[in-house]
């Protein structure tokens, strides 16, 4: 199966401590749903609030995220899916806040020698 990273975006600062019990329950149910859809979640991770981020550009370190945006990266997981369409089908079920979003990107696999 191919592997994809699924990036979860939420309004800044996206503090995981603000997650409601209902949101946690929805994410737990999503994990079961992924299995029912024939996929597998690997390495799910929530991130600390965006206020803890350090961005480095040209050797200069700044507080905050790399890009100034009302939405920030809040978490991610690696998803095993049959193909791009299957990964997107699964990612459409990710529980997000109404103002959040999800991005699906295939992991890079170097060409065989």
Looking at residue 30, what is its pLDDT?
Answer: 95
Q: Residue 93 and residue 113: Cα distance in Å, rounded? A: 37
Q: Where are the domains of the chain?
A: 2-106
Looking at residue 13, what is its pLDDT?
Answer: 87
List C-alpha distances in Å: 90 to 34, 37, 108, 109: 6, 7, 20, 21
The pTM for the full model equals 0.88
Looking at residue 17, what is its pLDDT?
Answer: 87
Q: Report whether CATH 3.30.70.1060 matches the domain 2-106.
A: yes
Q: Residue 79 and residue 45: Cα distance in Å, rounded? A: 12
Q: Could you tell me the mean pLDDT of each successive run of 10 residues in the chain, 113 residues long?
A: 94 88 92 95 92 91 83 94 97 87 94 87
CB 47 within 8 A of CB 77: no
């Amino acid at each position: 199966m191919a592997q994809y990273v699924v990036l979860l975006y939420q309004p800044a600062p996206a503090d995981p401590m603000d997650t409601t019990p209902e949101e946690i329950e929805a994410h737990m149910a999503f994990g079961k749903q992924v299995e029912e859809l024939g996929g597998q979640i690997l390495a799910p991770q929530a991130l600390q609030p965006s206020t803890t981020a350090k961005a480095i550009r040209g050797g200069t370190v700044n507080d905050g995220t790399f890009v100034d945006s009302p939405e920030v990266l809040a978490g991610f997981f690696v998803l095993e899916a049959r193909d791009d369409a299957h990964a997107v089908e699964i990612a459409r079920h990710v529980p997000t806040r109404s103002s959040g979003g999800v991005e699906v990107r295939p992991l890079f696999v170097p060409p065989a020698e």
